[in-house]
Amino acid sequence: GLELSHCVGANSLGPAGPWRSGGPCKMKRVRTVFKPEQLERLEQEFLKQQYMVGTERVDLAATLHLTETQVKVWFQNRRIKWRKQSMEQKAAKLSQLGAIQPASADSTHSKDHEEDPVDVEL
């Protein structure tokens, strides 16, 4: 299961619902703190494959003394980080290409001309 901390604060926002205790106390899940050895193994597995499912996830969780849910969520968060890093790298490459773009063989087209907006009537 998930560990829950005690009351977050006395002022709870919004009406009480089935997801709350009904009182002014709101329960909050404690953030999992991974050991360096666990993180190293998780990263090794991520390098092999970005999706961990089925018995592989169960086995890895047991090996690392984590729950299956903790492993699943770690992989979800790691994929998000990986995608963000990939997008940043692509953006950096594109900006480098824009800054040091080789001269075109056709000298009639200037960079300024290519960026001018074009009005098209429909």
C-alpha 3/C-alpha 12 separation (Å) is 20
Q: Which fold has domain 36-95?
A: Arc Repressor Mutant, subunit A (1.10.10)
Residues of the chain with pLDDT under 50: 10-20, 107-116, 120, 122
**Residue boundaries of the structural domains of the chain:** 36-95
Q: Which of 18, 16, 23 is nearest to 7 (CA)?
A: 23
User: Which pLDDT does position 67 carry in this prediction?
Assistant: 96
pLDDT in tens, 35-45: 999 999 999 99
User: Which pLDDT does position 97 carry in this prediction?
Assistant: 85
- 34 burial via Cβ count (<10 Å: 0-12, 13-18, 19+): middle
User: Which pLDDT does position 25 carry in this prediction?
Assistant: 72
User: Which pLDDT does position 6 carry in this prediction?
Assistant: 56
